[in-house]
Structure 1
Amino acid sequence: MGNGRYRTVFHTALSPADAFAAARQELRSWLITKSVRQKIDIAAYDAGHAQLGDGIVLLRDSRTDGDGTQTSNWQLREHKDNGYWLSSLVVHAPGKIASQEERTWFWLDVEHVRKGDDGEIGPPSPAALPNLARKLLAMVDARDHWAELRPTPTIIRPDRVEELLEILTDERRRLPVVVASPHPRILFDTWKKTIDNVTRFLPGLASLYVMDPLAIEDFNRAVGFAFEVRSGGVRTYLPDLDLAIDEDAVRHRVLSGARIEADVRRSAQLLTAIPRQLSADGRLPEPLSRLTRGTFASRAARSTAAESPAIPSYDFSILIQENVAIRGENGELRELLELAGYEERKLRENTADLQDDMIGTAAELETANQKIAELVDWVRVLRQRLASAGRAADAYVPTDTPTLLPTQLPEVLTRLKELDRVEFTGDDDPVWRLEEKAQSSTWAQTTWLVALALQDYAEAVVGHRFNGDFRRWCTEPPSGASAISAGKVKTDESESVQNNQKMRRLRILPVPAEVEPTGRIYMGAHIRIGGGAGMSAPRLHFYDDARGTGKIYIGYLGPHLPVKTTN
C-alpha cells in the first residue's frame, strides 16, 4: 500500500498570521540546513525567486477566499536520485473553524518520484523523516484533536493518566497513539533513551508517550488486561479504540521489551510501518479534503509566468531567454501531470490489491464461520450425550492444553522450536517485511496453524500411518489431526516458473547438509498465507523430507516470489 511518501497533517491554535510566519521561518531554517550539503541560494529564497539552485525549484502560492479562508503552499522540487524529490508544505486557515484549537492546519508531504531512462515513472525511494517535520513539531503546539504530536515521547506521570485515557478513546483521533512502558530491569532514564531511539521515525505520524514507573499500574488497571502494556513493551493503539471490547485488542499491537532490546533498528522499522501507511494512504481531514498539491503547483507556475516583466517584441535575445523560461515552466507542469498519473496508477493498484484481499478474506471468513458452526454443533451433541450418560460435569471441563495463537510473525519463528518435525531454514528478513503490514497478525496465526498441520503430517508419515503428500493430508485429514484448507497447498510451481532459470533460482532455498550436501534445494511446494489469491497473499515455501530426515523444512516465508506476471 505505502508508496514511500512521508505525510504529516496536524492542527494548531495559532492564528493564521502566526502559522504562516512559523511555516516561512522553519522552511527557511530547513533550507539553510540543506544548503550545507547542496548549493541552495538562500538570498534567492528571501527575494521570492523560484530557482534556488541547479535543479532546485521552489513554487509558492497564497490565496484568500471570499469566506475568509486563507491558504499558503510551498512546493520544493530537487532533481536527483534518478528523478526528483517533491516536498510540499500547505498551511490552511479555514474561514469557519471547528474550535479555537483547530484554527490552522499544517500538511507536509515529502516523496520521491523516480524516472527511468524511458521517461516512465518507476517505484520511488522511501522518504526519511524530514527535518522540516521535526522543526515544525518543535515550533508549534501540534495536535491530532486532543493528542499531542511532539518530536520525542511525552512522559506520562500519575496525574496525566486520565488525560491519556481520554486521548486513547477520543472518537475524533485520526492517528495512532504509541505508549511505551517502563522496563522492570533497566533504569527509567536509560530506557527512555531507548524508547526515544525506537520511536525516532514516528514524529508526525503518531502521538508518542512513555509511562512513568509510578503511573504504569494505574494505566493498566484502567485499560484492562486485554489492552495493557508492561515490561518495557510498546503498544500502538489505533484509532476507534473501544476498551469495552476485549476482542478488539488484537488490532492494537504490542512490541515486547525483549524484542526491542534484541534489535532496536528492526523494532523502530516495525513500529513505524503501520502509522506511516495510515498517514500516507488515509483520508485528509475535512478542512483539507478539497485541497490538492497539483492545483497549487500549477497555479503557482502560472502566477510565476504571469509575473514575468513584459518584454519588448524587438529584443530577440530577451525573448529567447523568456522562451527558455516558459519551456522550463512547461516542463514543471508536465512533471506535475506525470506525478498525478503515477498517483492515479498507484491508487488503482492499491484498490485492486484491497479488492483481492477483501474477496479472499471474505471467502476465508465464510469457511471459518462454517467450521465454527460445525464445531459448536459437535460440542453441543457431545455435551448432551455426556449429560445423558450421567457425566454432565465432564462436559464443561476445559482442555488441558489450549491452543494459543501467536500475533506476530517473528514470534512464529521462535515458537517453531516447540515443534520437532518442522524447521525454519530461511532468511528472516522477508518475515520482518511481512510484519510491517496491517494484516500481519492474521498471517502469524495462519502460519502457526500451517506449522501445526505440517507437524501432525510429518509425525504420521514417520510413524507409517500416512502414505500421501501434505496436500492429500489436508484433503482427507485423519480424525483429530491438524490440517488446513487443501486449496492453499500447491505441490509445485507452474511450468513457466519451473522452466525459467531466474525464477527457479529464487526458489532454491537453504536446507541442512544431511538433506542436500550443497546446503540448498529447490522448493516448489508452497502454501498461500492470507486471504488474497493473487500476488498480494504471502507464501510459505517448504521441502518435505518427512520420509528422509523426518522433518519439513520451511525455506521461505515472505511476500510472493516473482513470477512471469510480476511487473
Structure 2
Amino acid sequence: MTTDRFAPPVPSAAAGTDSRTAAAPGHATPYRMTVTTRQSHADVVALADQCLAAWLKHEGYDEPPPAPTPPPDSDQSAGARHRLADRVLLDRDSGPLPADPPGSPGGRYTRRRLRTPAPHGTHQLTLTIASEPGAPSWVRLEAEHQSAPGVRTPGRVPVPELVATLLPLLDASDAGAEVRLLPRIITAAEVDIVIDELCDPARRLPTVIASVPADLDPQVWAEQVLHPLLRNVAGLAVGYVLAPEARVLFNTALEFHTVYGGAVRTYLPEVDPASRRDAGRHLVLPRHRIESEPRRAAALLAREPRRLADLAPLPGPLARVPALRVRLVEPRPRDPQLDELVGELSVSRQAGADELQRVRISLHRSRRREFHLRTENEVQSTALRRVSSQLRALNSRLCPPGQPAPDPASLEEGPGSPASFAELLGRIGEFPLLTFTGDAKETQALDASTTGSGWVRLTWDGLTALQEYATVAVHGAAGGDFKQWCEHAPLGGSHFPPRKAVRGESQTVCSHSKMRRERMFAVPSGVDPSGRAFMGAHLRIGGGRTAPRLHYLDDCSGSGRIYVGYIGLHLTNTLTN
C-alpha cells in the first residue's frame, strides 16, 4: 500500500475527471445523491469511513489506514492517495471551505474518492461532506462510469451499494422531508405535513407518492410492487405511500394533482396546488403500466429524478469545495516543469468546475423563468378562450328585437382544458356530437410521458374544433371536411393547426392488412353492421414517430356524429417498427 500526503494535483491521465462534471452524451448517466444531515461533520465522516471500509473488506480489498484528523483551525488542505490493489485507488482529502461572504465563519469539507476497474472503463465513487457552523452538513455521493477511450456506454450507473448502508445512518433529509431507502406509509393525520413538504420552496428532490388499489393492503402493495419500482431512485427522491384514508384527504386537498387507483406520481419541486396547468409537470405512472412492464416502469420513474440530480446547481457549501488535490503514486524525481504543468492543470480544473456550477445555475434560472412565463401565457390563453367562447355564444344566441337578452352569467365558460388524459376522458361528455369508442387504457397510458401536458392541451383543442365543426356539418353547412374547416376557421372559433389535421392514411397503410387492421375501431352497428370501421382520418398530437394520434370517423352526414376510435401513441406505419 502506497500513501502520498499533502499532494499537488495529478494530470488527468492519473486522476480522471473531477466528480462535478456533467454526464456526456453517449455515456452512462451518473448517480448523484445530495442530502443534508443534522449530525456533526466529524460524526458523518466517521460513518462514511466505516461504511466504505466495510464495503472494501467485503470486496476483498485492503482496508485503508485510519484517516488523520486535521486540526479544526487548520487552513491547509490535506490529501492522501492509497493504492489498495491493481487499478484500485482511494483518494482522501479535507480542508477548510472558503468563507462566503468573506470574513464570515468558515466551514470544512472532507472527501473520499474510490476508483475501481469496471468493464470497458473505470468506476468512480466520490463522497463529499461539507459543513458550516450552525448549519446542517451537506452530503453528496456520486457514482460514475468513466469509459475507456473510444467506448460508448449508454444507460444508467446503478445505485451504489454504499447508499443502502450509509443513508439510514445519516438521518438524511431534503428541506423538511426525510430521505429514506423505501417509501413510508402515511396516515390521514400526516397528509397536511406531506402537502407542506410538497409546497416547500426549499425542496430540491422530487417526491414520489404512491396510491394503493382499493382491494389491496398498503403494506403488501408497498413490499411487492413499490419497493422494486423505487429501488432505482433510492437517495434521489422522497417516497410516500398513501393509506386509503390518507388518499381521500390528499386528493381532496390537491384536486388538480391527484393520484389514485394504484398509480404513482412524481411531484417535482415548486408544486402549485391551485394551478390546474401545473399538474401537467408531475409525471403519473398508471397501475397497468407498473404491473405489465415493471422494469420499464422503474426506468421511467427513475428518469426525472436522475436528470434533476445531474443538472441541479450544487448547494453553496458543496460548490465551494476545491478540486481534488492528489499526486502520482509512484515516487519520481522532482521535475520543476512537471510541477508547473500540474499547477496549471489544477487551476484549469478548478475553473472548469466553477464554470459548470455557473452553467447549472443559469440553466436552473432559465427553467424557472420558462415555467413562470408558460404559466402566465396559459392564464392569458385561458382568458382569451373564455372571451372567444362568450363571443361564439353571443353570435349563436342573438335574439330578434323584443326578445329578452341572454343572461351574461350563462355565457361563462366552464373549467379550462384538462391537465391529464384521464381527466380528458372523464370530460369528453362536454362534446355532445363526439363519441369516444376507443380503449381508455391506451389513452391514459399517455399520462406517463413528461411531455404529456402539451399533448393533453393539443388533444383537447382538437376535440373542441371537431365539436364546432360537427355543429355546422350536421346541417350540411361546413363547406368541406374537417381539414378545410381548420384552414378557414371562423372568427372567434377554435383554431386547430390545419397541418395537424390529416384526411387519411397513405395508400401503403390502407393496403397493408396489419396496418389497416390496427386502424379498425369500434362504431355503433347503425354506422357499420360489423361494429367496426376504418378510421384513416386523424389528428397529429405532437411530433415525431411515436407522438400520439387521434383517429376519428366523420359521420355527420349519416348518424350526425363524429366517432373518436383511438387516442394513443402512433400506430404502426412504414416509418415505425
Which TM-score band applies after superposition, normalised by the shorter structure? 0.5 to 0.7
Give 2:172's match in structure 1, choosing from 127, 137, 142.
Answer: 142
Paired with 2:402 and 2:82, the residues of 1 have a C-alpha distance of: 87
Residues 468/373 of structure 1: CA separation in 2 closer, same or farther (3 Å cut): same
Residues 112/204 of structure 1: CA separation in 2 closer, same or farther (3 Å cut): same
Residues 217/452 of structure 1: CA separation in 2 closer, same or farther (3 Å cut): closer
Aligned to 1:271: 301
Report the TM-score, using the length of structure 2 for normalisation: 0.64
Q: Which runs of 5+ in 1 are unaligned?
A: 314-322, 493-503, 517-522, 563-567
1:290 aligns with 2:310: no
Residues 84/482 of structure 1: CA separation in 2 closer, same or farther (3 Å cut): farther
Residues 89/538 of structure 1: CA separation in 2 closer, same or farther (3 Å cut): farther
Q: How far is 1:145 from its partner?
A: 1.8
1:108 aligns with 2:141: yes
Aligned to 1:237: 267
Aligned residues: CA RMSD:
6.0
Superposition pairs of residues 205-220 of structure 1, within 5 angstroms: 205-220=236-251
Contact 2:280–2:452 (CA<8 Å) still a contact in 1? no
Counting matched residue pairs gives 494
Q: How far is 1:205 from its partner?
A: 1.6
Paired with 2:243 and 2:519, the residues of 1 have a C-alpha distance of: 52
Contact 2:459–2:541 (CA<8 Å) still a contact in 1? no
Q: What amino acid sits opposite 1:41 in the alignment?
A: Y
Paired with 2:487 and 2:321, the residues of 1 have a C-alpha distance of: 54
What SS does the corresponding residue of 1:511 show, helix, strand or coil?
Answer: helix
Q: What amino acid sits opposite 1:85 in the alignment?
A: H
Superposition pairs of residues 423-434 of structure 1, within 5 angstroms: none
Q: What amino acid sits opposite 2:107 in the alignment?
A: T
Aligned to 1:199: 230
Q: How far is 1:267 from its partner?
A: 3.6
Superposition pairs of residues 107-126 of structure 1, within 5 angstroms: 107-114=140-147, 117=150, 124-126=154-156
- More deviation in 104-113 or 464-473? 464-473
1:442 aligns with 2:454: yes
Paired with 2:45 and 2:490, the residues of 1 have a C-alpha distance of: 70
Aligned to 1:529: 542
Aligned to 1:172: 202
Contact 1:545–1:553 (CA<8 Å) still a contact in 2? no
Residues 141/514 of structure 1: CA separation in 2 closer, same or farther (3 Å cut): closer
Residues 333/412 of structure 1: CA separation in 2 closer, same or farther (3 Å cut): farther
Give 2:95's match in structure 1, choosing from 53, 60, 63.
Answer: 63
Give 1:511's match in structure 2, choosing from 510, 515, 536.
Answer: 515
Residues 449/422 of structure 1: CA separation in 2 closer, same or farther (3 Å cut): farther
Paired with 1:443 and 1:491, the residues of 2 have a C-alpha distance of: 20
Q: How far is 1:484 from its partner?
A: 1.7
Q: How far is 1:375 from its partner?
A: 3.4
Paired with 2:129 and 2:263, the residues of 1 have a C-alpha distance of: 36
Q: How far is 1:106 from its partner?
A: 0.4
1:92 aligns with 2:134: no
- Identity of counterpart residues, as a percentage? 27
Paired with 1:290 and 1:387, the residues of 2 have a C-alpha distance of: 76
Q: How far is 1:12 from its partner?
A: 0.5
Superposition pairs of residues 20-31 of structure 1, within 5 angstroms: 20-31=45-56
1:392 aligns with 2:390: no
Paired with 1:526 and 1:93, the residues of 2 have a C-alpha distance of: 55
Residues 358/20 of structure 1: CA separation in 2 closer, same or farther (3 Å cut): closer
What SS does the corresponding residue of 1:164 show, helix, strand or coil?
Answer: helix
1:18 aligns with 2:31: no
Q: Which has the higher helix share?
A: 1
What SS does the corresponding residue of 2:233 show, helix, strand or coil?
Answer: coil
- More deviation in 376-385 or 132-141? 376-385
Q: Which runs of 5+ in 2 are unaligned?
A: 1-21, 68-79, 99-104, 521-535, 556-562
Paired with 2:195 and 2:367, the residues of 1 have a C-alpha distance of: 32
Q: How far is 1:206 from its partner?
A: 1.6
Q: What amino acid sits opposite 1:152 in the alignment?
A: L
Q: What amino acid sits opposite 1:396 in the alignment?
A: S
Q: What amino acid sits opposite 2:317 in the alignment?
A: P
Aligned to 1:316: none
Aligned to 1:519: none
Contact 1:242–1:248 (CA<8 Å) still a contact in 2? yes
Q: What amino acid sits opposite 2:40 in the alignment?
A: S
Aligned to 2:530: none
Residues 367/227 of structure 1: CA separation in 2 closer, same or farther (3 Å cut): closer
Q: What amino acid sits opposite 2:143 in the alignment?
A: V
Report the TM-score, using the length of structure 1 for normalisation: 0.64
1:181 aligns with 2:194: no
Aligned to 2:311: 281
Paired with 1:556 and 1:219, the residues of 2 have a C-alpha distance of: 31
What SS does the corresponding residue of 1:74 show, helix, strand or coil?
Answer: strand
